[in-house]
Amino acid sequence: MRTTFAGLDAAKTNGVIVPPFTADSASRKVRMAEDAWNSRDPQRVSLAYSEDSIWRNRSEFLCGRDEIRRFLARKWVREIDYRLVKQLWSNTDDRIAVRFQYEWRDDTGQWFRSYGNELWEFDAQGLMRRREASINDCQISAADRRFFWEAPGSRPLDDPGIPEIE
């Protein structure tokens, strides 16, 4: 049985959303990825990636689920009070493009908003085999924060997500 984000579309094989993607299934895949990342659980998140998944995250290059899991564990020690919003940008049969924003603070209490884009490629089982992420961090004041839901945890369904105009 394939393992990926919890709560995947039961209409697909074994409850996993697999290629080819429609706009609707790609949007659901993106939201499930957001929910998993907002759990801040490196083990849970890593299961969405193939054993030999290849990543570029900023200037860091990773290969394999174990490296991904270690990367995520380091990330969430450094990025405190992490809250992420993802939005589908476009999709093809086996690829999804996403834009995202997340907020976090460092150990001095300085808040940041990170802006980025991701390109995802999936295998036939619905596991991500490639992820390329470009991310920029901007310092913000606590008063400029946008994401306030209980964390770790999923963004509320009625939350507006990423603002259309900055």
Q: What is the pLDDT of residue 16?
A: 85
Q: What is the pLDDT of residue 166?
A: 54
- For the domain that residue 128 is a member of, what is the CATH number? 3.10.450.50
Residue 166 lies in a domain: no
Tell me the pTM: 0.89
Share of the chain above pLDDT 90, in %: 88
Q: What is the pLDDT of residue 164?
A: 75
DSSP tag of 71:
H
Residue 50 lies in a domain: yes
Distance CA 124, CA 136 (A): 31
The answer to whether the CB of 81 falls within 8 A of the CB of 105 is yes
Residue 5 lies in a domain: no
Q: What is the pLDDT of residue 12?
A: 39
Residue 118 lies in a domain: yes
Domain count, the chain: 1
Q: What is the pLDDT of residue 13?
A: 46
Range of the domain at 63: 14-144
pLDDT one-digit tens code per residue, 80-130:
999 999 999 999 999 999 999 999 999 999 999 999 999 999 999 999 999
Q: What is the pLDDT of residue 7?
A: 39
Distance CA 69, CA 71 (A): 5
